[in-house]
Structure 1
Amino acid sequence: MSSLEFTCHIESVSDSLAVSIKAMVDAVSKRDAAALAQYGITTEGIPKNITLEIDSDEMVLSTSSGSEVELSFFDELVDALESAGATEYHARLFDSSSGGVLVWRLPHDAGDEIELDGADFLFLGDMEEERQEMLELAEDLGTVHDDFSEQVNLVVLGSNVDPEQLSRIAKSKIQTITEDQFWEYLSDQTM
């Protein structure tokens, strides 16, 4: 059976945003159609529960569910967070059936752009392009690591990434990019 692992880190949480997010999580847990409709979330294919952890001015939403949960639920949830006032968040959804990863991010500011020059890279998962070529190009830009270390500050995600590795990335808040974003950055630099 496939599983969906969703994690969303929300930073700079005001008191009013915290109240809205708590109410949203409560509505999901109770499957309260009227309350969910206020957030633009439908009751079709939602997870049985969603976990909310609160730590000073940060909140972490997470859920692990089976394929009965519609992928559209996660889009609706992220849209609802934005509508509620979340301005700094990073969310990831891992689908074990395809090995795919969806990433939503509302950065702190424009300074949160992808910067590969001088980065400490870690490549995870299966890459569509030749992995060795990607590693060589990354070495020209910075340092490539074979495993997690304190120096790693940028992870390039391919498909079929181990869920434990995704969880570790989410907890450490290391910046991630997709393989496509890696190639886009390189093509932009050659122009």
Structure 2
Amino acid sequence: MSDARPVPPMVQRMTAVLDGIAFVCRILTGVSLVVLTVIFGWLVFGRYVLNATPTWVEQVALLLVMLIAFLGAAVGVHEHTHLSVTMLRTSVPMRVRTIFVVITDLAMGGFGALMLWYGAQLTLFKWGSLIPLIQVPEGLRSLPLTVGGALILLFSIGHLIRLYLGLDERRDSIE
């Protein structure tokens, strides 16, 4: 932060909780990436050495990719590392820049809310059938979409609260 403005305890707690959630998401995506690598190694070994392809690997890999993609995207929103083009935003006066930041956070929150809503509907719809070969509910494929949407919404609300209180630390929004 550029000024020594005190941060209210409620905002400190909110930030700590959101940081904790993002940390857990990073751990889950990292572990998922390692598991994905290991099971594809097993797939190659089984196919070319044992001459017996483990058919379950593809289905598990699809679940892991969904988890990595949507939790990773949510962490990207939280840590401001998601894909964005800031050229226009950084070339306008501070007042307009803040409006752009608010619009961006509202759009991201709205997108997260849509992901949450429609992802939950899809998850519930598909929960009754099983994924072939691994026999887990088909709804697990869309559950990361639902959770990722909820987290994007939550992280966007956190950004808006900090921005409203003048505690936003994003460089391109307060330079």
TM-score of the superposition, structure 1-length normalised? 0.24
Higher share of residues assigned strand: 1
User: Highest Rg: 1 or 2?
Assistant: 2
